[in-house]
Amino acid sequence: MPPGGAQARAEQKATLQEMAHKLFTSDEMGTFLDHLAPLTENHAYDSDEASLVRVTAREYEKRRRIPPDLVAERARVSTLAHSAWENARQQADFELFQPHLERLVDLSVRIAQALGYSEHIYDALLDLFEPQMKTSTVTSIFEKMKNALVPFVQRISSSTQEIDDNVLRGNFAEEKQWELGQAVLARIGFDPTRGRQDLSVHPFTTAFSPDDVRLTTRINPRFLASGLFGTIHEGGHALYEQGIPTSLVRTPLCDGASMSVHESQSRMWENIVGRSRPFWQFWLPELRQSFPDHFQGVDQETLYRAVNRVAPGFIRVEADEVTYNLHIFVRFELETALLEGTLQAQDLPDAWNAKMESYLGLTPPNDALGVLQDVHWSGALFGYFPTYALGNLLAVQFYNQAVQEHPEIPDRIAQGDFTQLLMWLRERIHKHGARYTPQEIVLKATGTGIDAAPFVDYIQIKYAEIYGL
Amino acid sequence: MPPGGAQARAEQKATLQEMAHKLFTSDEMGTFLDHLAPLTENHAYDSDEASLVRVTAREYEKRRRIPPDLVAERARVSTLAHSAWENARQQADFELFQPHLERLVDLSVRIAQALGYSEHIYDALLDLFEPQMKTSTVTSIFEKMKNALVPFVQRISSSTQEIDDNVLRGNFAEEKQWELGQAVLARIGFDPTRGRQDLSVHPFTTAFSPDDVRLTTRINPRFLASGLFGTIHEGGHALYEQGIPTSLVRTPLCDGASMSVHESQSRMWENIVGRSRPFWQFWLPELRQSFPDHFQGVDQETLYRAVNRVAPGFIRVEADEVTYNLHIFVRFELETALLEGTLQAQDLPDAWNAKMESYLGLTPPNDALGVLQDVHWSGALFGYFPTYALGNLLAVQFYNQAVQEHPEIPDRIAQGDFTQLLMWLRERIHKHGARYTPQEIVLKATGTGIDAAPFVDYIQIKYAEIYGL
């Protein structure tokens, strides 16, 4: 978008969001739902009919509590806040963003109050991204992770093992990187007749229907991992969207179960699959074909270690899978405190830096590398960050279950065959769309609830071996 | 769009068009307009207030006559027809498209009947693109043009002057072509902070607001004229959109006056400016910089003649400015006959070929190069074609008037200064948005009505000189 277009888009988005909100929360919709509810009593809980009415009614009850003018105000306030944030980040000056953040917090508190909550004000916002998840549950899960991961990262940092990722750095022709990304996408099961990949500044995935799923990547000519793992990550989101049955198109069921379940798909493909030995057993020869100068003499173990290098850093989106969640804890704890009112916006940068020091042993040298790095808060997206960490947990739980049922999956991956894993995901997760809550889908797929232990085990076993701990 | 996405988009477009139609033609809107009309009586005819109510009311009266289900049906029928047309064109087989065309004609007749008309059924559809224009007026204008142009093209064809455009053919690096196009756009006055250019298969311009105007071009590495004149053409549309005052944003006045007035802008910049001697006086040195191998030894006159080569051909969008309108006459006469019922869809290819022979002296070897070449009919756009030819007439009328008031314009263009022409267009045309009807805007800008004579004079003088007639 040309810079001049921002104001027009802000107004257009505010209008559309307000209209959509009004249409969805109209009395007429309530009447429809009241009529339909008894008609679905004879249908099974997971039938299309009962699920459609149940999920729509739940969403209706929730959205109806938010006054339309708050919806439009949120769109307008966050558009201005977004511009201010971009400017503040560029100048590494939190004060330029602070008044906007204050308005955003105030607005989010009002939205949370309109939504209502029984335990914690943050519950109301969390529920918008992660239905029925509670702040207390997140806190308890994160405490378990923190207790294991913070000392584990310290052990890695003080390990004598030196791992570098030099093999991924140098000059990698953008065309070749693009071709490699397209080849990986096709092989993991992305259907190019029902979607496409493009380039963008920030990678993302969006779906207009399961038959039109668009993902983007960015290519760094000096660092191969950036585009490749970006493509695999977004590819995980895209496979989920392409796997939703077309029979659910244009209904509220045509969506993922939640943000964390969506993120579980992208992180599974990116990390558990994409940074595994079997994956590179198949792809190293391909890499050698694409970049003979770089990989002719490189063995699989060197590559495996390079893509799994652990290095505490300032930036969340560049974090490895061991330190990634520590960045989430910082954000979760700070945003709950902002909403509770126990932390004021003006004290946020200091609080941020203190937590970074405590969890990652680093103090950001400026706000651009610290509190201003992420776009979310400028868009009033309080309650979103935890879903990234929950997605990491679910990724391990789902993958473990798939392998328990089909122990040959890693061997198949080593042969470049991802069908069995994808079929398991299709059957247990994708095909349900938004029919189930995250809790239901996790229970049905794995027989248990969301749990930090499998993730912690996965990390500790994998990286203890890599770092000789 | 990936091929699988077509069906989803068809349904989405049908829904959105039906919703927009219902909202705009609601009783509530009628009540607003009834209340507002008397309040604007004290405002000048061309005030924002009076214009907004007048133009909206006119559009409301028109659109309200079309039943919403016909709007949705048109969206659905034309989406399927579009796919059938693509397939038919690829196979050069009209019969694959014929049943769709029959449905489209039938649907358009029903829409025209719903809209109502006093003289000719085609008037109802023409009015959707060219407010208040009549079929009888178009017929009379086109007859005058035909009487002059058909024999004139024959004279050119039998001229002994040989003109070739070889200097525009060869290998032109796409990057250099892109840079040249961007430079031309910037210099004619396109504001890149409020718009952008991209590549696409078919060039087009779209505006989300005057502050966000997007145009596209296509680059042919073997033929320089394709991308360059495509960019200038779309640039003319884009300048119009960027010139509409932001005070009109999000009102029905934030638009061009009509399709023909819009086309007058693109064709003026493309042909009257872009294919003139002064233009190339400035740009030839630039061309030599961009493509030294091609243009080092080329003089201005050779280039001028190359970009003005006349060659009757099968394809409208590739036609030169002398033969271009003949293609429009073919389409206009055939589509009026289809709607009148005096021509049946099954007889269309023969009728097409007969007219091509009569006006251009050519018989298309197949339907892909004939009746199937244009997308418009597959989108139910009957009544659209004449606006291209009317735009060509207006381009000359506007340009002549600008030069009469500012005789130094050609000299300024020769110095690479397009400001004076653009300022005239801004002041007389762009800044009014859709406030005036095309008739009003032509009268205010030139003191006369739309007229074939200035165009015919322009063509005859320019090309008699080039071809030594």
- Residues of chain B neighbouring A7 (CB-CB closer than 8 A): 211
Residue A325's Cβ-side half-sphere holds a number of Cα atoms within 13 Å equal to 28
Q: Which of A1, A5, A211 sits opposite B5 (nearest CB)?
A: A211
- Does the pLDDT of residue B3 top 90, yes or no? no
Pairing of strands A212-217, A205-209: antiparallel
Asked if A2 and B209 come within 8 Å (Cβ–Cβ), the reply is no
**Best B13, B197, B209 residue to mutate vs chain A (most A CBs within 10 Å):** B209
Q: Among all residues of chain A, which has the CA nearest to that of B5?
A: A212
- Residue listed under structure tokens 């952008």: B196
- Give residue B221's pLDDT: 97
Closest CA to A258 of A348, A156, A375, A133: A133
Distance (Å, whole) CA A416 – CA B252: 56
Q: Which of A7, A212, A249 sits opposite B211 (nearest CB)?
A: A7
Asked if B3 and A193 come within 8 Å (Cβ–Cβ), the reply is yes
Q: Which of B73, B234, B270, B333 is catalytic?
A: B234
Q: Which of B8, B193, B195 sits opposite A208 (nearest CB)?
A: B8
Instruction: Give the predicted TM-score (pTM) of the model.
Output: 0.88
- Residues of chain A neighbouring B208 (CB-CB closer than 8 A): 5, 8-9, 12
Contacts of B419 (CB under 8 A, 6+ apart): B189, B412
Distance (Å, whole) CA A457 – CA B184: 61
- Give residue A83's pLDDT: 86
Torsion of CA B91, B92, B96, B101, to 10 degrees: 140
Q: Which of B8, B12, B211 sits opposite A5 (nearest CB)?
A: B211
- Give residue B305's pLDDT: 97
Distance from CA of B249 to the nearest CA of A (A): 8
- Does the pLDDT of residue B14 top 90, yes or no? no
Closest CA to A321 of A159, A455, A465, A164: A455
Distance (Å, whole) CA B43 – CA B176: 52
**Catalytic center residues of A:** 234
Query: Which pLDDT tens digit goes with each residue over B304-348?
Result: 999 999 999 999 999 999 999 999 999 999 999 999 999 999 999
What's the CA angle centered on A70, arms A101 and A241, to 5 degrees? Answer: 85
Query: Which pLDDT tens digit goes with each residue over B233-281?
Result: 999 999 999 999 999 999 999 999 999 999 999 999 999 999 999 999 9
Tokens of A431: 């095909």
DSSP3 helix / strand / coil % (chain A, rounded to 5): 65, 5, 30
Q: Position B259: which residue type? A: M
CB-CB contact of B101 with B348 (8 Å) = yes
Residue A208, classed as helix, strand or coil, is strand
DSSP characters for A308-360?
T-----S-GGG--TTTHHHHHHHHHHHHHHHHHTSS-GGGHHHHHHHHHHHHH
Asked if B4 and A211 come within 8 Å (Cβ–Cβ), the reply is yes
Instruction: Count contacts between A and B (CB, < 8 Å).
Output: 63
Distance (Å, whole) CA B233 – CA B204: 9
- Give residue A8's pLDDT: 87
Asked if B208 and A7 come within 8 Å (Cβ–Cβ), the reply is no
Q: Which residues of B touch A (CB under 8 A)?
A: 1-5, 7-9, 11-12, 191-196, 208-209, 211-212, 249-250
- Residue listed under structure tokens 């029902």: A194
Asked if B4 and A249 come within 8 Å (Cβ–Cβ), the reply is no
Query: Which pLDDT tens digit goes with each residue over A44-75?
Result: 999 999 999 999 999 999 999 999 889 889 98
Q: Which of B4, B192, B209 sits opposite A212 (nearest CB)?
A: B4
Distance from CA of A257 to the nearest CA of B (A): 21
- Residues of chain A neighbouring B12 (CB-CB closer than 8 A): 208
- Residues of chain B neighbouring A208 (CB-CB closer than 8 A): 5, 8-9, 12
Q: Among all residues of chain B, which has the CA nearest to that of A248?
A: B8
Distance from CA of A249 to the nearest CA of B (A): 8
Distance (Å, whole) CA B378 – CA B384: 12
Helix (H) or strand (E) holding A173: none
Low-confidence ranges of chain A (pLDDT < 70): none
Q: Which of B8, B212, B250 sits opposite A2 (nearest CB)?
A: B212
Within chain B, what is the greatest distance between any pair of CA atoms?
69
Closest CA to A233 of A102, A424, A457, A391: A391
Asked if B9 and A212 come within 8 Å (Cβ–Cβ), the reply is yes
Region B448-464: what's the mean pLDDT? 98
Distance (Å, whole) CA A141 – CA A455: 11
Closest CA to A331 of A271, A273, A374: A374
Tokens of A337: 């405190």
Q: Which residues of A touch B (CB under 8 A)?
A: 1-5, 7-9, 11-12, 191-196, 208-209, 211-212, 249-250
Query: Which contacts (CB < 8 Å, 24+ apart) does range B420-428 have?
Result: B421/B273, B422/B188, B422/B189, B422/B239, B425/B239, B425/B240, B425/B243, B425/B265, B425/B398, B426/B243, B428/B398, B428/B401, B428/B402
Distance (Å, whole) CA A100 – CA A102: 5
Tokens of B236: 């003319």
Report ipTM (2 d.p.).
Answer: 0.86
Query: Which pLDDT tens digit goes with each residue over B136-189?
Result: 999 999 999 999 999 999 999 999 888 999 999 999 999 999 999 999 999 999
Contacts of B212 (CB under 8 A, 6+ apart): A1, A2, A4, A5, A8, A9, B194, B195
